[in-house]
Amino acid sequence: MNNIFFPPEWYPQDAVMLTWPHKESDWHYMLDEITECFRKLAGEILKEQRLIVVAPDEKIVTDALKDIALSGNLQIVVLPSNDTWARDHAPVSVFINNKPVLYDFTFNGWGLKFAANYDNQINRGLFAKNIFETDVRYENKKNFVLEGGGIESDGKGTLLTTSECLLSPNRNPYLTKQEIEDYLISVFGLKRVLWLDHGYLAGDDTDSHIDTLARFCDEHTIAYVKCEDEADEHFGSLQKMEEQLKEFTDYQGQAYNLIPIPMADTVMEDGERLPATYANFLIMNKVVLMPTYNSPKDDIAKKQLEKAFPSRKIVGVDCLPIIKQHGSLHCVTMQFPKGFIKNKF
């Protein structure tokens, strides 16, 4: 029987991946603005660890990053892409019998909402580009639709997800909830799956990805979005989510240490509310990159995350441009655990 380990995000990392915005993506109408946002995000990552950038043209990346000291930490991989949501189209990393394995699930544009013909081929292309250690194995999982933003691992056999996303009729409609749970337990070597049945963000295209709502910070701690405003449309649903989180226990049977982070202030564009959330942070080796929205709540969220990550520095990155396409910081990044990427690019 295979011993499968699905590492949590805080597991030591080799690198972080971005998929760069370009003129053929949905960012074409605001390309300068989003490129500057990605430039700042890339700069923060490169201060700490290596960065892999997928782009259709190497020059658009080198031009954007020309004033950043790269010191050999940047690897640009030329591949076509539809969009920039690396969290959802990048491979999911596991260890099977202590050997690194890349799972390549189907990405179908969050239930056939958007074109994903190029994004769905990125992982196969990445593997062919020879950036991974020689013992890394590629495993085709295209019989199952799954996005990285839809699942959270505690590294102890627990998966946290939402029923709204994983039971979406345009993802794996031929499977029941029990069959989906059994599949997840099998491929990730789990002991259990925790299903959140409540919580959403207006303007979210992902059908309530878990990384917009509640996140493992360690095996005993969950940071989650809490809405204090009874007049806000999210109040009731997020209150029910909080109640369900209080019922959950960690892998040792104890109540989770729950750290509330504020519901972000309302951000509107063209009469539509955008899905701003502080839960969409990225855990790296020494820092946590947190999305900010030019709001007084930015500091409140930062202080709460400092409680969740006492040994890491919390660094804010302005993500107002990213949420114009209905995602945020975690949505555009994917980490590779230690043991996956070659020591030298």
Domains annotated on the chain, with CATH: 4-337 (3.75.10.10)
Band of residue 71 on the pLDDT scale cut at 50, 70, 90: low
Q: Answer whether residue 1 shows pLDDT above 70.
A: no
Residues 167-178: pLDDT tens digits? 999 999 999 999
Q: Answer whether residue 114 shows pLDDT above 90.
A: no
Q: In angstroms, rounded to a whole number, what is the distance separating the alpha carbons of residues 152 and 210?
A: 7
**Segments in the chain forming alpha helices (H):** 31-48, 58-64, 86-89, 109-112, 122-128, 163-166, 177-188, 235-247, 297-308
Which residues lie across from 283 on neighbouring strands? 288
Q: Range with the lowest mean pLDDT among 68-77, 116-125, 216-225?
A: 68-77
Contacts with 213 (C-beta within 8 Å, 6 or more apart), sequence order: 162, 196, 199, 200, 201, 224, 225, 238, 241, 277, 279
Q: In angstroms, rounded to a whole number, what is the distance separating the alpha carbons of residues 304 and 320?
A: 20
Q: Is the pTM of this model over 0.95?
A: yes
The mean of the pLDDT values for the chain is 95
Note whether 293 and 302 are within 8 A (CB): no
Q: Give the pLDDT of residue 345.
A: 58
Q: Give the pLDDT of residue 111.
A: 84
Note whether 272 and 228 are within 8 A (CB): no
Question: Whose CA is closest to 335, among 48, 63, 79?
Answer: 48
Provide the CA 146 distance to its chain's centre, in angstroms.
12
Q: Answer whether residue 70 shows pLDDT above 90.
A: no
Q: Answer whether residue 112 shows pLDDT above 90.
A: no
- Average pLDDT of span 8-19: 98
